[in-house]
Each structure stands twice: as structure tokens, then as C-alpha cells.
Amino acid sequence: MVGPGWTRRRAPPGAAPTMNCRAEVLEVSVEGRQVEEAMLAVLHTVLLHRSTGKFHYKKEGTYSIGTVGTQDVDCDFIDFAYVRVSSEELDRALRKAVGEFKDALRSSGSDGMGQISLEFYQKKKSRWPFSDECIPWELWTIKVNVVNLANEQERQICREKVGEKLCEKIINIVEVMNRHEYLPKMPTQSEVDNVFDTSLKDVQPYLYKISYQITDSLGTSVTTTMRRLIKDTLAL
């Protein structure tokens, strides 16, 4: 049986979708009821670093930035707490995606393996008839393995172990963030929607999309469900 825990490895260069896209992969083994909280902890921590206040453009080509609030979240099934951006809209969007991923994992069968990806991208306008291009610049992938535990004692150990591993993962995420590698340039007013998600009313994350896929026991991708959570799709 695979015990609870996380590992992290850098994706090999060839695996990145484009040459400039930074890709990080995290692996995790958790109990079924911990999936949601573990995913939210990681996604929120990444988005905390990839969200700014709302931009307010002024006349002379200057802009000011709103304020990002933060709040502590305690996990119920893991001995862990994390900080997220104070934005109910953002939280709802992440919970929706993670909820779908969890349901897909559950219905996939006893093995319960899958991965959820958070991709940050820029839009590049193309001329008609071509549609806008989405160019990813950072990709976070969390591979999940759901374990089944036999008794309460194991569950208690799992609570603590997964909590410890999540702490390590937060440290790893912060380490990547503070390398100050590529970030999209700050856009002009006309370009802001190509870089940031301006649909939220209180904060402004970089444009992102969340997708997931479930694998069967053979390791092949039986169900590939791509769910795009972009502003336009939510509006439909």
C-alpha cells in the first residue's frame, strides 16, 4: 500500500507544452476525504502569489492597484492550515473545479489516480479567422493517488502525515515563486484582459485555467476531461 505523502519533481524540459512554460509537478497520496482540502490548499497558495489587486487605469497611462486581503483556512480532515486570498468568487471557482475532480476520481474505480492542473496563460490576439491563442507560461500539476485506510488509527496518522507533507509543499511552492522567473509584462489598459482575469470584483488573478484527468489502473488516460474555467465558459 502506498503510504500518505508527497513528492515533488520537476517535469523534464520536453514535457512542457511550450518552450517558455515553467512546469512544476507535485505528487500526493491522500485519503479520499482529504482530496478536496489538499487540492484547495495547493491551488490557493499558488493563486495567492499569482493574484494582485484590481487595476484602475487613469488618464496618463498610469494605474493604481487595489488591495488583496487574506484569510486563514483550517482543514477538517488534515492537520493543516493555509492562507488564501479573501475572494469568495475565486474560492467558489476553485471549489467547483476541485469538486468535479474529486467526483471524477471517486467514480473512476477503486484505484483513484488522477491529476489536476493549474495553468497560467496569456492570450494573444490573432487576426480573423484565427481564434485567440492561449500561451501558457506556468503550469502546476498535482498528481493524486487516493489510498484506502483500514481503521481509525491509520486515519489519524494520515491526518498528521499529510499535514506535514503539505507544509513541505507550501515551502516548495514559495521557493519557486521567489525565484522571480518569467512573469507577463504589466499590460496597458487595452491589453489587460489578455494577461489578467478581470472578471472578479475584488481581486485580479493572472489568467488561469484548471483541468484534470483521471487514469485507470493501467496508467492510461481513460477519461480525459478538460474543463476550462475561463471567464467566457462560465458565462455560457
Partner 1 sequence: MLPYAMDTDLSSQDRKDLDKFIKFFALKTVQVIVQARLGEKICTRSSSSPTGSDWFNLAIKDIPEVTHEAKKALAGQLPAVGRSMCVEISLKTSEGDSMELEIWCLEMNEKCDKEIKVSYTVYNRLSLLLKSLLAITRVTPAYRLSRKQGHEYVILYRIYFGEVQLSGLGEGFQTVRVGTVGTPVGTITLSCAYRINLAFMSTRQFERTPPIMGIIIDHFVDRPYPSSSPMHPCNYRAGEDNGAVYPSVEDSQEVCTTSFSTSPPSQLSSSRLSYQPAALGVGSADMGYPVLFAGGLNAAHPHQLLGPGKEGGVPPVPSQPAHGTQADQERMCTPLDGVHYSAATPSSSEDTETVSNSSEGKSGSPHDLLETIFIRKVGAFVNKPINQVNPPDSPETESPLQGSLHSEGSSGSSTGNTHDDFVMIDFKPAFSKDDILPMDLGTFYREFQNPPQLSSLSIDIGAQSMAEDLDSLPEKLAVHEKNVKEFDAFVETLQ
Cα separation, 151 vs 155, whole angstroms: 6
* Interface with partner 1, residue 127, by CB under 8 A: no
Least distance in Å: CB of 94 to partner 1?
Answer: 15
Taking the least distance from each CB to partner 1, the nearer of 151 and 178 is 178
DSSP-assigned letter for residue 5: E
Which residues contact residue 38 at a Cβ distance below 8 angstroms, ignoring those fewer than 6 apart? Answer: 28, 30, 78, 144, 162, 166
Least distance in Å: CB of 32 to partner 1?
Answer: 24
Least distance in Å: CB of 201 to partner 1?
Answer: 6
* Interface with partner 1, residue 62, by CB under 8 A: yes
Could you say which residues in the range 73-92 bind partner 1, by CB under 8 A?
Answer: 74, 79, 81-83, 85-87
| Residue 10: strand pairing partners | 24
Which residues contact residue 215 at a Cβ distance below 8 angstroms, ignoring those fewer than 6 apart? Answer: 113, 114, 115, 221, 222
Cα separation, 117 vs 25, whole angstroms: 9
Pair 78, 162: CB distance under 8 Å: yes
Cα separation, 1 vs 6, whole angstroms: 15
Figure out which of the listed residues 14, 59, 152, 185 binds partner 1, where binding follows CB under 8 A: 185
Taking the least distance from each CB to partner 1, the nearer of 58 and 127 is 58
* Interface with partner 1, residue 231, by CB under 8 A: no
Taking the least distance from each CB to partner 1, the nearer of 103 and 181 is 181
Taking the least distance from each CB to partner 1, the nearer of 71 and 233 is 71
| Residue 205: strand pairing partners | 51
Could you say which residues in the range 148-177 bind partner 1, by CB under 8 A?
Answer: 166-167, 170-171, 173-175, 177
Least distance in Å: CB of 233 to partner 1?
Answer: 23
β 208-215/113-124 pair status: antiparallel
Q: Is 192 helix (H, G, I), strand (E, B) or coil?
A: helix
Cα separation, 139 vs 116, whole angstroms: 11
* Interface with partner 1, residue 27, by CB under 8 A: no
Taking the least distance from each CB to partner 1, the nearer of 38 and 214 is 38
* Interface with partner 1, residue 135, by CB under 8 A: no
Residues that bind partner 1 (CB under 8 A): 45, 48-49, 52-54, 56-58, 60-72, 74, 79, 81-83, 85-87, 166-167, 170-171, 173-175, 177-178, 180, 185-189, 201-203
